[in-house]
Amino acid sequence: MAAEPQPKALTRKPLLLNKVEGSQDVVNMAAIVPKEDGVISVSEDRTVRVWLKRDSGQYWPSIYHAMPSPCSCMSFNPETRRLSIGLDNGTISEFILSEDYNKMTLVKSYQAHQSRVMMVLFVLEMEWLLSTGQDKHFTWHCSESGQRLGGYRTSAGACGLQFDVETRHVFVGDHSGQVTILKLEQESCSLVTTFKGHTGGVTALCWDPIQRVLFSGSSDHSIIMWDIGGRKGTAIELQGHNDKVQSLSYAHHTRQLISCGADGGIVVWNMDVERQETPEWLDSDSCQKCDQPFFWNFKQMWDSKKIGLRQHHCRKCGKAVCGKCSSKRSSIPLMGFEFEVRVCDSCHESITDEERAPTATFHDSKHNIVHVHFDATRGWLLTSGTDKVIKLWDMTPVVS
């Protein structure tokens, strides 16, 4: 039976629109100002800057504000023009920006953490300010009163933070590779569950409230798609980076995941395809294809008078195989393997050309990306990097 043709992905090669330069250190986070030709950035050089596009076509600061400590993260709410900035000293400072984006006024400060604030998130519907820190704590405050409502100690410093307004669930990803789900009430929280699928620390989280899917990026170079709402417990791997994944964003209208990494890569994943869960790796003392013993299987080596072989695993079926029985490589995009990976010889023969069709596109940003922000209304992508540069890209989709 012929494989069904996959829907064409709405993608285009990112077109560089502009560079925003002038920061003296790493730009840890930045955001496109909706309905304005503007960008807000926070940097390790202790500055908060609002960049507006001038008649010359270049972006120049309309606001340049020095903070007492390096700025590690930010959260901007366009409706209220509320800007929450996390600092290296554990403080979160909250400002209101003027309508013309030429002035910022301090509203209040929170001593939220004992060390660097890793992520901050303002939730307008609840008037809550959520944050994670290197002090291994997740905290949340009332943004009206400034009162601390509660906290939870994580297993390690946390980089990933997402919140679901409908269910009041918060997702926290930490450096141990664990994702913790908490249920928040007004002044209490309860642990729902924890799960771990990465071999490295979680570096980024992204939540799709419509499909109820959580994406986690890691220093192990991989992304995992967790089916939270479907209650199937499926976890699908996406392998498309050669270095740690630094930031994730999801485009709901085109059902595309955008991932950026320390390798400078921008990967656009088509999530409008039926993806397959990667199999568990099977345990065996001998090759499950030719029955040759592996090198730790002393008894079988002695009985058969054969030298033990190194164990490998087929990425498609999960069987334990020797090198001779897995001499081939293949991409398996529907399993998330956009690069060629080891497969056993029989699986290699069964994979069709249609199954090898890529489900992601790859682009080189030419800078080490630490953060990404996507403006769906204009199809603009912002990347900020360790090279102190902010880049704006046109990602307007076209049928490929």
pLDDT digits (tens, 9 = 90+) for 300-319: 666 666 666 778 889 899 89
In this structure, the answer to whether residues 247 and 182 fall within a common structural domain is yes
Domain membership of residue 10 (yes or no) is no
How far apart (Å, rounded) are the C-alpha atoms in residues 390 and 29? Answer: 9
In this structure, the answer to whether residues 264 and 121 fall within a common structural domain is yes
pLDDT in tens, 114-144: 999 999 999 999 999 999 999 999 999 999 9
Question: What's the token pair of residue 249?
Answer: 């964003």
Q: Is the model more confident about 18 or about 187?
A: 18
Question: What's the token pair of residue 15?
Answer: 């077109």
In this structure, the answer to whether residues 303 and 174 fall within a common structural domain is no
Owning domain of residue 150 = 15-274+361-394
- Please give the full DSSP string across 194-205, using - where no structure is assigned: EEE--SS-EEEE
In this structure, the answer to whether residues 62 and 164 fall within a common structural domain is yes
Boundary of a domain, candidates 326, 341, 356 = 356
Domain membership of residue 49 (yes or no) is yes
Q: What is the pLDDT of residue 5?
A: 42
CATH number, residue 326: 3.30.40.10
Q: Is the pLDDT of residue 1 over 60?
A: no
In this structure, the answer to whether residues 369 and 348 fall within a common structural domain is no
Three-state SS annotation for 225-260? EEECCCCCCCEEEEECCCCCEEEEEEECCCCEEEEE
In this structure, the answer to whether residues 65 and 203 fall within a common structural domain is yes
- Tell me which of 44-48, 106-110, 225-229 is least confident: 225-229
- Tell me which of 69-83, 216-230, 283-297 is least confident: 283-297
For the four alpha carbons of 352, 357, 360 and 366, in that order, the dihedral sign comes to: positive
In this structure, the answer to whether residues 101 and 207 fall within a common structural domain is yes
Q: Is the pLDDT of residue 230 over 70?
A: no
CB 298 within 8 A of CB 306: no
Q: How far apart are the first and last CA of the chain?
A: 26
In this structure, the answer to whether residues 270 and 307 fall within a common structural domain is no
Mean pLDDT of 145-165: 93
Q: Is the pLDDT of residue 101 over 90?
A: yes
Domain membership of residue 1 (yes or no) is no
Give the SS3 label for residue 192.
Answer: strand
| Cα 376 → chain centroid | 17
CATH number, residue 244: 2.130.10.10
In this structure, the answer to whether residues 348 and 369 fall within a common structural domain is no
Domain membership of residue 47 (yes or no) is yes
Domain membership of residue 120 (yes or no) is yes
Mean pLDDT of 5-32: 80
* Total number of domains in the chain: 2
Domain membership of residue 2 (yes or no) is no
In this structure, the answer to whether residues 335 and 378 fall within a common structural domain is no
How far apart (Å, rounded) are the C-alpha atoms in residues 139 and 186? Answer: 12
Q: Closest by alpha carbon to 87, among 101, 70, 74?
A: 70
Domain membership of residue 319 (yes or no) is yes
Confidence category of residue 273, pLDDT binned at 50, 70, 90: confident
Domain membership of residue 94 (yes or no) is yes
In this structure, the answer to whether residues 268 and 217 fall within a common structural domain is yes
